[in-house]
Chains A and B, each alone.
Chain A
Amino acid sequence: MSTARPKTLFDKIWEQHVVVEEGSQSLIYIDLHLVHEVTSPQAFEALRLAGRKVRRPDLTFATMDHNVPTDNPFDVRDPIAAKQIQTLADNCRQFGIPLADLNSRDQGIVHVIGPELGLTQPGKTIVCGDSHTSTHGAFGALAFGIGTSEVEHVLATQCLWQVRPKTLNVRLNGQLPAGVTAKDVILAVIGRYGVDFGTGYVIEFSGEAVRSLSMEGRMTMCNMAIEAGARAGLVAPDEKTFAYLQGRPYAPQGAEFERAVEAWKQLCTDEGAEFDKVIELDVADLEPQVTWGTNPGMCLGVNDVVPSPDSFASPVARQAAEQALAYMGLTPGTRLTDVSVQHVFIGSCTNARIEDLRLAAAVAKGRRVAPGVRALVVPGSKRVKEQAEAEGLHEVFRAAGFEWREPGCSMCLAMNPDFVPAGERCASTSNRNFEGRQGKGARTHLVSPAMAAAAAIAGHFVDVREFLNGSPSPSAAGSNTGGAGHGAARPA
């Protein structure tokens, strides 16, 4: 043991889960399989057709989130969505899978409820038919999204064939400035290194800035590891992780918890262990980020201006920027703080946890949503909603003119009735600003919860730090605004 080669956190989890190796492929055992209504029906149907059972219903957990209406979850007017929700309930009953349905106190976005129920634990392998499964890596679990064929495979065998990914260490040094959050960090990292720098890798996030983040912040960061193309994101568990898990319904209890913590403490990258690639970034000077284009890598500090396609070196990047600006209806040189919004969405598996809502509420408190702006707050789960209401956050939001909704994926991907109309602009705390993501022709700008709340109040993007330092003055936004203020023409 003591003479063993130093290992990364990833190596340790991987090696604990190899069942069989065949050439370049390893059969990996899966400790937790999360299931939702959209990517599972065809998998269950295939099991039925082949006469197969679910191997470990006890390691499987289902909920409904993507299609659920957030005004009245029980009033599913779209008959195809209603059928999909009903199909999940039927499949869970038939195959004996625990389900947090719309009546359950445990219901919510699958990547919010896994951690809050204590199902997500360090060292586990976790999969779900959803790319944002990377979220659970914040606990030091190896967690990744899979397609429906693999959902079927895990249901039938509790295993998955995998080619061992490479390892990438993203070291984040320095302390985050006030008003700059995990969301800004991950956007900035993707902005600098691109939307595919993680392809083929599992990323371990480490460094002073990561240690300082709350569990919620770490989840936000790992959630968006997939937006860098990574197979998974990882953060080594520490005292914050253990404190978060203690007392959660599905976490080990009592003496068993203490024993688990001892085992979890081994889950770190050993001194001297080598990664295939290392990236380092200092976060001390980071600004709140806003995306301007149609992928998460197209982002800048809030005090920057919309870039010109000519500023990109390669013809391919220039063409992509041109297409993005045309779709987004933005003109190069426009200050981001001069871009007005008609919609604000605070929610999604990226940013709908209690800390996110607290940060947004702190900005909203005592202020009013700007005229012409529709602002939605969609808690990530029933428990998040309960907690927020216990703290009075819903009253803060409502008094400020935000809508307070029921949990679900909502306007992140607009599969339910919450969407942004064509040509309108949304400040969104979600994870993808792809064309059409929030509705056909919708223009999405990704931001942190605090930045989204600030945009709702101002009616345009604004550096949230002005709100945190006291009352915002209209002329203070941006460092080089001169006398232009916000009267300047804003693209619709």
Chain B
Amino acid sequence: MEPLVRHEGKTAFLDKVNVDTDQIIPKQFLKRIERSGFGQFLFYDWRYLDDGSPNPEFALNHPDYAGASILVARDNFGCGSSREHAAWALADYGIRVILAPSFADIFYNNCFKNGLLPVVLASETIQHLFTVGAGHPYSLTVDLEKQRVELPDGNSYPFDIDPQRKHKLLNGLDDVGLTLQHEAAIADYEQRRSKAAVG
């Protein structure tokens, strides 16, 4: 997994609450058995018209947002289905950081497995980010090490993050290998449990 320490990038804005993972990656693309190549299907039903051409009404199709890597979103982003394909699609599209007032639980978790940083900021802060550029993209810096989002005007906003998740993302560590270092504890637990079951 690609580490994320400090990321500077262009913002894109998605002004909609409760964006569910069915929108982020519709079901017709879940049949693939690969993990890569989902970026082209990101927000498919919103992004493309019936004839396959880009929907000019959809925020991410705005030419100004091309190359954006920081998505600013609203409450409960990523709700619904557990499909990790949503995180794969966002990462493959080029998003590295998502800023929102709240995230759905499973999606939030899935982000960290894919080098994607979801940052929870206060609703007022998110509102400020939406209004400060009057809809135009600007550059932001997200510093995971220092746990803060830095605006071009010099303002910065701190954010909370679980220390273990932070450590893994800073170092690009994958979970399975780390967990297997606890092999003895797992085996011990299994043995205790099987004894308890017999007794």
Number of interface residues of A (CB under 8 A): 66
Question: How distant is the Cα of A350 from the Cα of B110 in the complex, in angstroms?
Answer: 24
Residues of A within 8 Å of B76, CB to CB, are: 195-196, 199, 229
B26 partner residues in chain A, CB cutoff 8 A: 436, 440
A258-290 interface bits toward B, Cβ cutoff 8 Å, 1 = contact, 0 = none: 000000000000000000000000000000000
One of A52, A147, A156 near B109 (C-beta < 8 A): A147
Please name all residues of chain B whose beta carbon is closer than 8 Å to the beta carbon of A239 when the two chains form the complex: none
- Asked whether B114 is an interface residue with its Cβ less than 8 Å from the other chain, the reply is yes
B55 to chain A, nearest CB (A): 13
A435 pairs with B45, CB closer than 8 A: yes
Contact B83 A150 (CB under 8 A): no
Return the CB mask of B48-92 against A: 1 if under 8 Å, else 0.
000000000000000000000000001110011111110100000
Q: Given contacts A29-B189, A153-B176, is CB(A145)–CB(B106) below 8 Å?
A: yes
- Distance in angstroms between the alpha carbons of A148 and B109 in the assembled complex: 11
**Quick one: closest B residue to A259, CB to CB?**
B197
A81 CB-CB contact with B under 8 Å: yes
Determine the chain A residues whose CB is within 8 A of the CB of B190 once the complex forms. Answer: 29, 158
Bound CA span A156–B183, Å: 11
In this assembly, does B195 line the interface, its C-beta being within 8 Å of a C-beta of chain A?
no
- Which of A19-27, A173-181, A243-251 lies at the interface with chain B? A19-27
Other-chain contact of B22, A149, A199, A434 (Cβ < 8 Å): A434
Expressed in whole angstroms, the minimum distance between the Cβ of A132 and any Cβ of chain B is: 9
Residues of B within 8 A of A316 (CB): 17, 74-75
Instruction: State A22–B182 Cα separation when bound (angstroms).
Output: 11
Closest CB in chain A relative to B52 CB, distance in Å: 13
In the complex, A14 has a CB within 8 A of chain B: no
Chain A interface main SS type: mixed
Quick one: which of B30, B81, B83, B182 contacts A20, CB cutoff 8 A?
A: B182
Q: Which residue of B lies closest to A24 (CB)?
A: B162
A136 vs B21: C-alpha distance when bound (angstroms): 22
Q: A23-B164, A147-B87, A200-B105 are in contact. Are A295 and B18 (CB under 8 A)?
A: yes
Please tell me which stretch of B31-39, B131-139, B143-151 contacts chain A, meaning at least 4 of its Cβ atoms lie within 8 angstroms of it. Answer: B31-39
Q: B128 within 8 Å of A by Cβ?
A: no
Instruction: Knowing A147-B109, A320-B17 are in contact, say whether A83-B33 is a contact too (CB < 8 A).
Output: yes
Task: Determine how close the nearest CB of chain B comes to the CB of A64; give it in whole angstroms.
Answer: 12
| Cα–Cα, bound, A29→B113 (Å) | 19
Q: Given A131-B106, A158-B186, A320-B18, is A150 in contact with B113 using a C-beta cutoff of 8 Å?
A: yes
Is there a chain A Cβ closer than 8 Å to B155's Cβ? no
> B87 to chain A: closest CB distance in Å?
7
Q: How far is the CA of A45 from the CA of B35 in the complex (A)?
A: 9
User: What's the interface size class on B, roughly?
Assistant: 35 or more
A149–B165 Cα distance when bound, in Å, is 14
**Minimum C-beta distance from A430 to chain B (A):** 12
Of A38, A131, A163, A295, the contact of B31 (CB 8 Å cutoff): A38
Asked if A255 CB lies within 8 Å of chain B CBs, one says no
Interface positions, chain A 301-341, Cβ under 8 Å from B, are: 316-317, 319-320, 323
Given A23-B164, A24-B162, are A149 and B175 also a contact pair (CB < 8 Å)?
Answer: yes
A152 on the interface (CB 8 Å rule)? Answer: yes
Could you say which of B33, B164, B193 contacts A87, with CB atoms under 8 Å apart? B33
> Would you call A148 and B84 a contact (CB within 8 A)?
yes
Q: Decide if B31 touches A27 in the complex (CB within 8 Å).
A: no
B103 to chain A, nearest CB (A): 8
User: Is A113 at the interface (CB under 8 A from chain B)?
Assistant: no
* Cα A149 to Cα B179 with chains together (Å): 13
Residue picked from B31, B87, B162, most chain A C-beta under 10 Å: B31
A147 touches B30 (CB 8 A): no
Q: Judging by beta carbons under 8 Å apart, are B179 and A39 in contact?
A: no
Q: In the complex the two chains form, is B81's CB within 8 Å of A131's CB?
A: yes
Residue of B nearest to A83 (CB): B33
User: B185: which A residues are within 8 A, CB to CB?
Assistant: 19-20, 27
Interface members, chain B 168-199 (any A CB < 8 Å):
175-176, 179-180, 182, 185-186, 189-190, 193
A233 CB to nearest chain B CB (Å):
13
A437-B179 CB under 8 A given contacts A45-B35, A129-B82, A145-B82: no
CB distance from B42 to the nearest CB of A (A): 14
**Is B20 in the interface zone, CB < 8 Å from A?**
yes
24 A-B residue contacts at CB 8 Å?
A: A24-B162, A24-B164, A25-B164, A29-B190, A39-B83, A42-B34, A45-B35, A84-B31, A84-B32, A130-B82, A146-B82, A146-B106, A149-B110, A157-B176, A161-B175, A199-B105, A230-B105, A320-B16, A320-B18, A413-B22, A415-B27, A415-B30, A432-B20, A434-B20
Which B residues have a C-beta under 8 Å from some C-beta of A? 16-18, 20, 22-23, 26-28, 30-35, 45, 74-76, 79-85, 87, 102, 104-106, 109-110, 113-114, 162-164, 175-176, 179-180, 182, 185-186, 189-190, 193
9 closest residue pairs by CB, A with B: A149-B113, A147-B84, A41-B33, A147-B110, A145-B82, A131-B82, A148-B84, A80-B31, A196-B76
